[in-house]
Amino acid sequence: MREKDITHLRDSDYKRLTGVRRETFEKMRTEIEAQAPKFGRPPKLSCGDQLLMTLMYWREYRAQFHIAQTYGVSESHVSRTVRKIEDILIKSGQFTLPGKKVLQASDLVIEAILVDATEQPIERPKKSNASITAAKRNAIPRRLNS
């Protein structure tokens, strides 16, 4: 599936397919286009297709072999592209999740916490002489050549 194939989708279906809103996708694509090298051999996939491939990998966690067959590239190309897109998006700093402290802070006040700490017996094997594998001393012959 290429980027041109999903442009006609409604916003809700677009988000269901890619995992991000259309505006976020556009911001990501402009960031990738800004970081793309302007020299050398032109890439086989456009920046939008590379981003869509990466989002497909993240969202569906499809095997890279299957993604490679969909886009007509090799598995290693998919791996390199996903890593490159991840690095660009992380480096930009615009698409990071909030930190742990932001997620923990809330306006909700907890008045009571209930903890169920009842003890439960754990079934463990009983130790007995039958379960020990060590042989008795008198069962070991003193001389082998008697």
> Considering its fold, how many domains does the chain have in total?
1
Q: Per the domain annotation, does 32 fall within a domain?
A: yes
Question: What pLDDT is recorded for position 133?
Answer: 58
Domain carrying residue 25: 3-96
Question: What pLDDT is recorded for position 99?
Answer: 73
Query: Do 49 and 71 contact (CB within 8 A), yes or no?
Result: yes
Beta strands in 4-56 (DSSP E): none
Question: What pLDDT is recorded for position 26?
Answer: 93
Return the structure tokens found at 144: 């082998």
pLDDT digit string (tens) for 49-91?
Answer: 999 999 999 999 889 999 999 999 999 999 999 999 999 999 9
CA dihedral 96, 97, 101, 107 (to 10 degrees): 130
Q: Per the domain annotation, does 144 fall within a domain?
A: no
pLDDT digit string (tens) for 86-135?
Answer: 999 999 888 877 777 766 666 666 677 777 777 777 887 777 766 665 55
With 0-12 CB in 10 A as exposed, 13-18 as middle and 19+ as buried, what is 145?
A: exposed
pTM of the predicted model as reported, rounded to 2 decimal places: 0.65
Q: Per the domain annotation, does 139 fall within a domain?
A: no
Q: Per the domain annotation, does 143 fall within a domain?
A: no
How far is the CA of 110 from the CAs of 11, 100, 106, 113, in angstroms?
A: 38, 19, 10, 7
Q: Per the domain annotation, does 57 fall within a domain?
A: yes
